[in-house]
């Protein structure tokens, strides 16, 4: 920032903060979305046999993948937020 220039809150950073907050609220629900079905299939014998085992393994894999992807989204937003300056030149926000 040059001499005499004023800085202001970076609107991009504010937007990222709002997005991160919304994503984190939904992340909890997404991460646990498959938990009831997973608990049913892995907790007791509701369906048995090779097809049932294959289904339970796929369900477990999808549950783990969903959690991984949700965390990756949160981490990407957090990284973008860390890379975004808190303040910017007032002149650069007027464009």
Enumerate the domain spans of the chain. Answer: 9-85
In the predicted structure, residue 77 carries a pLDDT above the cut 60:
yes
What's the token pair of residue 95?
């464009």
Average pLDDT of span 69-90 = 94
What's the token pair of residue 45?
């014998």
Give the per-residue pLDDT at 41: 84
Average pLDDT of span 63-78 = 96
Rounded CA gap, 1 and 19, in Å? 27
pTM equals 0.74
Over residues 3-57, the pLDDT tens digits come to 556 889 999 999 999 999 999 999 999 999 999 999 988 888 788 899 999 999 9
Q: Which residues contact 74 (CB under 8 A, 6 or more apart)?
A: 20, 23, 24, 27
- Residue reference for tokens 């289904």: 55
Give the per-residue pLDDT at 23: 95
> Which of 18, 29, 6, 26 is closest to 80 using CA atoms?
18
Average pLDDT of span 60-67 = 95
């Amino acid at each position: 920032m040059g001499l005499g220039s004023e800085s202001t809150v970076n609107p991009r950073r504010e937007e990222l903060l709002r997005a991160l907050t919304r994503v984190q609220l939904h992340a909890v629900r997404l991460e646990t979305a498959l938990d009831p079905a997973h608990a049913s299939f892995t907790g007791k014998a509701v369906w048995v046999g090779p097809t049932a085992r294959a289904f339970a393994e796929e369900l477990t894999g999808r549950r783990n993948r969903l959690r991984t992807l949700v965390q990756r989204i949160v981490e990407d937003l957090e990284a973008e937020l860390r890379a975004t300056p808190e303040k910017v030149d007032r002149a650069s926000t007027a464009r």
